[in-house]
């Protein structure tokens, strides 16, 4: 079953093999081609003044993962937020989100979690991107790469006891999964991530099936007019959270009635300024309330 993100949201990229073997791509310059033409009048651009910002490599057991890092310059022991991208990878929008968070005092890191499968930024068609890259990424690989990202952060200016995560679309689902994976996580924020779905070899569990395994509370931001994530799934998730263990009960899902899918993506026509700004403020408050 294809990710619901791909319902909304062919050029094969040049690839380079790193010395350890897996395909290593760079983080993108500009916006992903598959996402469509950026809407210049709404796309937010955050400068890097006062920040240490740019591309890094994160060591993994089988190679190096490209990533984008932004943090207040000269600061140490920072609360860390891992930023998980949409299916379009770590392109300009995700990099800008990292800079926004860094200006709030966070070490923000967005790993390119599709590095072994290909470079999403070079694709022009979502179905082809989904088939050749996104649909080949195992959940277990993502969780391992996020663990590697957390370890890099702890060794490079981050406070290992203050770890959070946020993600959009495809990344929103990964937030829920990671909150069920890492007991050291303080909190997560999932922006319109898939909740249901049929199990497969690469995606053995849905978010709904993992509620009782949550180890950290998650704030969900969902659109009431999201055509791909039914409100019935959101309702089921709310009920499951209320009946779950403490981290589940501490979680919350906010629904923005007039918002579509990807309403925070300020470079796309789906952007809804009022809802995006309100959800962003709530997310920052959420992280602070949870010790980040």
Catalytic positions:
169, 226, 261
Cα separation, 231 vs 235, whole angstroms: 6
Residues in the chain: 292
Q: Which residues of 238-266 are buried (b: 16+ CB within 10 A; e: fewer)?
A: eebbeebeebbebbebebbeebbbbbbbb
With residues binned 3-state (H G I as helix, E B as strand, rest as coil), the percentages for the chain, rounded to 5, are: 35, 20, 45
Four-residue CA torsion sign, 237, 239, 240, 245: positive
Cα separation, 19 vs 291, whole angstroms: 39
Cα separation, 191 vs 208, whole angstroms: 16
150: how many CB neighbours lie within 10 A of its CB? Answer: 23
Cα separation, 131 vs 151, whole angstroms: 31
Cβ–Cβ < 8 Å for 171, 143: no
């Amino acid at each position: 079953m294809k990710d619901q993100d791909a319902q909304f949201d062919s050029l094969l990229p040049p690839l380079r093999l790193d010395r350890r073997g897996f395909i290593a791509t760079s983080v993108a310059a500009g916006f992903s081609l598959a996402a469509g033409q950026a809407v210049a009048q709404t796309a937010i651009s955050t400068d890097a003044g006062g920040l240490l910002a740019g591309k890094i490599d994160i060591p993994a057991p089988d190679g190096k993962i490209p990533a984008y890092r932004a943090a207040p310059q000269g600061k140490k022991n920072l609360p860390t937020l891992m930023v998980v991208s949409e299916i379009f990878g770590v392109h300009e929008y995700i990099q800008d989100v990292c800079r926004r968070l860094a200006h709030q005092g966070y070490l923000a890191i967005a790993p390119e979690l599709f590095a072994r499968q290909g470079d999403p930024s070079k694709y022009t068609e979502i179905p082809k991107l989904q088939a050749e890259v996104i649909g080949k990424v195992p959940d277990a690989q993502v969780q391992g790469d996020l663990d590697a990202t957390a370890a890099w952060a702890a060794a490079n200016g981050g406070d290992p006891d203050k770890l959070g995560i946020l993600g959009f679309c495809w990344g929103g689902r990964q937030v829920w999964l990671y909150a069920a994976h890492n007991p050291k996580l303080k909190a997560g924020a999932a922006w319109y991530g898939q909740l249901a779905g049929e199990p497969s070899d690469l995606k053995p569990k849905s978010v709904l099936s993992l509620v009782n395994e949550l180890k950290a509370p998650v704030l969900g931001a969902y659109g009431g007019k999201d055509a791909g994530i039914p409100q019935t799934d959101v309702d089921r998730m709310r009920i499951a959270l209320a009946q779950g263990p403490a981290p589940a009960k501490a979680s919350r899902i906010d629904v923005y009635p007039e918002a579509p899918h990807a309403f925070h993506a300020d470079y796309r026509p789906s952007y809804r300024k009022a809802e995006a700004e309100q959800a962003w403020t709530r997310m920052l408050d959420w992280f602070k309330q949870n010790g980040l």
